[in-house]
């Protein structure tokens, strides 16, 4: 079964509103989670690394004030797209790192954001 | 820097045909290598992986061998099915960071 969940799976919002996406690790504690963005028919681009209890690390070119990340607990990270615009429409995927024996990362099912 | 290159798609095959999707990488040190599959409208699912040179990852009839000398990790399947239609991503991992290839879309026709 799925070990990382995302909510919501789809969201449609009006331009100018803020949208929060949740990423949860279901069977393990994840001190580190990652947020990716995928444009249509393109690959995944890492946006930021989310660390529990500290500030996220953003990749070059990603606006931290636009994409707010909060890793409030060992099983939850949230990505908030603030003042969304149509160009923010995309597929957002999170992954969570399980530092157990296999040190595996598990990917969530993704959230499709459409900004009208 | 680290990068992953995949063959351009889309790839269209008939059912039961042989599949090869080429993947080469550039990386410092010795990364782990992965193939992920993405079905329409869904997130990524791990298909197989290899963590060191000459390792072979396999799953659901798919195979890929970590070739250090050619820096390659080509994906193969002997007989594809319609249900294999998806986008396939080759990826490397150094430390905790993944680098993904551009993806190859596979369509299998009945």
pLDDT per position as a tens digit, B20-76: 999 999 998 889 999 999 988 788 889 999 999 999 999 999 999 999 999 999 999
Q: Does the structure show a pLDDT above 80 at B80? A: yes
Please state, in angstroms and rounded to a whole number, the distance separating the CA atoms of residues B7 and A49: 29
Phi/psi at A63 (5° precision) = -80, 115
- Residue bearing tokens 């430390």: B95
Nearest to B102 among A42, A49, A106 (CB): A42
- A63's CB contacts (< 8 A; 6+ apart) are none
Of the residues B39, B43, B86, B102, the best mutation for testing chain A's interface (the one with the most A CB atoms within 10 Å of its CB) is: B43
Identify the CA nearest to A13 among candidates A109, A62, A85, A80.
A85
pLDDT digits (tens, 9 = 90+) for A39-76: 877 788 999 999 888 889 999 999 999 999 999 899 99
d(CA A42, CA B6): 12
Contacts of A83 (CB under 8 A, 6+ apart): A16, A17, A18, A66
Q: Residue B13: how many CA atoms within 13 Å on its side-chain side?
A: 22
**In Å, how far from its chain's centre is CA B94?**
17
Compare all CA atoms of chain A with the CA of B45 and give the residue at the minimum distance.
Answer: A107
Band of residue B19 on the pLDDT scale cut at 50, 70, 90: very high
A109 touches B at CB < 8 Å: yes
What SS3 class is residue A115? strand
Q: How far off is chain A from B42, nearest CA to CA, in Å?
A: 6
Please choose, from the candidates A34, A53, A54, the residue with its C-alpha nearest in 3D space to the C-alpha of residue A96. A34
pLDDT digits (tens, 9 = 90+) for A89-108: 999 999 998 877 667 888 99
B14 CB neighbour count, 10 Å cutoff = 10
* Cβ contacts of A43 on chain B, cutoff 8 Å: 89, 100-103
CA pair distance B105, B89, nearest whole angstrom: 9
A41 — contact with chain B (CB < 8 Å)? yes
Is residue B84 within 8 Å of B101, Cβ to Cβ?
A: no
């Amino acid at each position: 079964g799925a070990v990382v969940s995302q909510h919501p799976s789809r969201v449609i919002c009006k331009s100018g509103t803020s949208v929060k996406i949740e990423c949860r690790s279901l069977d393990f504690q994840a001190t580190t989670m990652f947020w990716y963005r995928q444009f249509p028919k393109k690959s995944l681009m890492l946006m930021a690394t989310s660390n529990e209890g500290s500030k996220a690390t953003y990749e070059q070119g990603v606006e931290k004030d636009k994409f707010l990340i909060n890793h409030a607990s060992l099983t939850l990270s949230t990505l908030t797209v603030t003042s969304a615009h149509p160009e923010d429409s995309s597929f957002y995927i999170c992954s969570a790192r399980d530092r157990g024996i296999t040190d595996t990362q598990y990917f969530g099912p993704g959230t499709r954001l459409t900004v009208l | 820097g680290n990068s992953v290159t995949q063959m351009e798609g889309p790839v269209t095959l008939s059912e039961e045909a042989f599949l090869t999707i080429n993947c080469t990488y550039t990386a410092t040190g010795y990364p782990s290598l992965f193939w992920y599959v993405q079905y329409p409208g869904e997130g990524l699912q791990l298909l197989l992986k290899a963590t060191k040179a000459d390792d072979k990852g396999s799953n659901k009839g798919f195979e890929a061998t970590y070739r250090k000398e050619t820096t390659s990790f080509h994906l193969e399947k002997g007989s594809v099915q319609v249900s294999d239609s998806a986008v396939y991503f080759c990826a490397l991992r150094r430390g905790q960071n993944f680098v993904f290839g551009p993806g190859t879309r596979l369509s299998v026709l009945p």
